Amino acid sequence: MIHGFGHLLRLGHVFPHLSFPGIKPKDLPRILHPPSIFHWNFHLILVLLFHSMLTPAFLVLLGTINTALAAIGPITELHIVNSFIQPDGFNRSGVLAEGVFPGPLITGSKGDNFQINVIDELTNSTMLKSTSIHWHGLFQKTTNWADGFNVPNQAGTFWYHSHLSTQYCDGLRGALVVYDPQDPYASLYDVDDDSTVITLADCPLDIMRAHPSQVSIRRPDATLINGLGRSASGPANAPLAVINVIQGKRYRFRLVAISCDPNFVFSIDGHSFTVIEADGVNHQPIVADSVQIFAGQRYSLILSANQSVSNYWVRANPSTGSTGFAGGINSAILRYQGATVADPTTTSTAKNQLKETSLAPRENPGAPGSPTPNGVDVDLSLVLGFSGGKFTINGVTFVPPTVPVLLQILSGATLATELLPSGSVYTLPLNSTIQLSFNAAAVAAIGGPHPFHLHGHTFDVIRSAGSSTNNYVNPPRRDVVSTGAASDNVTIRFRTDNPGPWFLHCHIDWHLEAGFAIVFAEDASEVALANPVPDGVAAWSQLCPTYNNLTAIQLGGQ
């Protein structure tokens, strides 16, 4: 159980932007997408606590380049601060969990109760001083109103990030792992710990301010692997992440794409690996030597350290920004115990990239519904578009409502015609099979491919990007999917078993800021019964009033 109240606004239960008197229209896009928003002077005493501690920003030194991620949790505090970092040799300000990038690895075991007190200590008025945390991939079933939830049936690789405007691009992102004591694949590997988590991120050149005019021009200048990397225009000797292995051991690497924009092609010279997990879902083992991973996606890769003792390049070639590997950009180092401390001299050997269509779930394979193109209860075609600098879905740009969707539902609005934002909320019946088809022809060349993420669910990808056939028998199951090229018709299915409003959005954060999202109001008439607010949680009813009363100075980002 992750205790707190942040998901009231955030997890896609869509408490997007709120309205506040005195805030200029230009400030509104900064305020929030589907996340919760809390500010430094708002105190939730019971479980999720934010308060002001006006400590000065400080410089995070790079230190050792052995970049195993020290874990915290499942009971911990998470301090959100403004700090300076130098991930690629350039000094820049960030919004960081515990002052580090990426944020601390949060871990626990299946069935654990997580209690994470998030403490907002942001002070930089040029950046947003409110914040939020979204626990990406965790379903939050029956607790739509809050942060607190049980995850008895989920284990795997997840992550967390701010869902406030484009704040996670400033650095507020990190990995979250729920270990399974009964992991069916435990016999396939020897090591699965903090040292085997690998994060891939983009590093923008300057501070993000989440202004709409900036949406189309942000491009990363460095790929960061476990928080370190080199820039094509930066110091040639900037340290790289080192992943240490012992010859003869087998490692479960948990690969997490925490990027704001690019996807990556990931490989390790001289090595293949066995893929066993995608987005928190066990899949049948399949061998590959590279994977394309999109923003928000995760894979578990089992690697056997069966090569000569040496150093090997770890490669993560991005889809945008500075590509290639000259001078060690977009790279890290796999170092065998006993190897000299030096950059590798290896060359890429990858030639067997994982195909999404090759993934098959280990447990309960098979798409819901009948094995026919229209064998579902609700069949929705989502036409993706772009007009006037904004993205659209079925001709509508998501414009956050002044009253969060969850509060609208709890106040009695249950029909799509009643729920705001008009045209962006789709009502879905309970215990039904839903099919979504993405028509990306108009947007594939505009910052595509677009990775779409559904909150509150995993889904079966019955037609993947690059494929022209439907798989109803054992399609991949995940929570982020690429919508592919202009000629693709990516199609997914899921069951409505989680009442509440859930967000579907592009996980390229600049595109989300430009309105690339819709909301599913799932079983709206029963949301209040399925997600009861416990007696005595008085702070819950004060979240929106408290936030609405914040001044422009308190909000920051000026």
Q: Known catalytic residue: 134?
A: yes
The rounded distance, in Å, linking the Cα atoms of 103 and 114 is 17
Q: Known catalytic residue: 271?
A: no
Q: Using only the alpha carbons of the chain, give its radius of gyration.
A: 22
Residue type present at position 99:
G
Catalytic residue among 134, 271, 283, 457: 134
Catalytic residue among 7, 17, 39, 507: 507
The rounded distance, in Å, linking the Cα atoms of 210 and 514 is 10
Q: Which two tokens stand for residue 160?
A: 């967390």
Q: Known catalytic residue: 13?
A: no
The rounded distance, in Å, linking the Cα atoms of 541 and 543 is 6
User: Residue 472's closest CA among 445, 510, 433, 500?
Assistant: 433
The rounded distance, in Å, linking the Cα atoms of 218 and 88 is 17
Catalytic residue among 80, 516, 518, 520: 516
Phi-psi region of 362 (alpha: psi -120 to 50; beta: other; left: phi over 0): alpha
Q: Known catalytic residue: 453?
A: yes
Catalytic residue among 505, 518, 520, 544: 505
Catalytic residue among 203, 268, 333, 506: 506
Q: Known catalytic residue: 163?
A: yes
List beta partners, residue 106.
72, 176
Catalytic residue among 39, 163, 283, 457: 163
Catalytic residue among 85, 409, 434, 508: 508
- Pure H helices in 382-436: 405-410
DSSP-based three-state secondary structure for 302: strand
The rounded distance, in Å, linking the Cα atoms of 110 and 106 is 13
Q: Known catalytic residue: 507?
A: yes
Q: Known catalytic residue: 516?
A: yes
Element (H, E) at 276: strand 273-278
Residues 1-24 as b or e (16 or more Cβ within 10 Å = b): bbbbbbbbbbbbbbbbbbebeebe
Catalytic residue among 17, 33, 136, 283: 136
Q: Which two tokens stand for residue 178?
A: 């729920």
Catalytic residue among 7, 39, 283, 450: 450
The rounded distance, in Å, linking the Cα atoms of 91 and 60 is 10
| Edge-to-edge order in the sheet of strand 173-179 | 71-72, 103-109, 173-179, 156-161, 134-136
Catalytic residue among 511, 518, 520, 544: 511
CA dihedral 125, 160, 457, 164 (to 10 degrees): 0
Q: Known catalytic residue: 511?
A: yes
Q: Known catalytic residue: 203?
A: no
DSSP-based three-state secondary structure for 477: strand
Residue type present at position 58:
F
8 A C-beta contact, residue 253 and residue 200: no
Q: Which residues are catalytic?
A: 134, 136, 161, 163, 450, 453, 455, 505-508, 511, 516
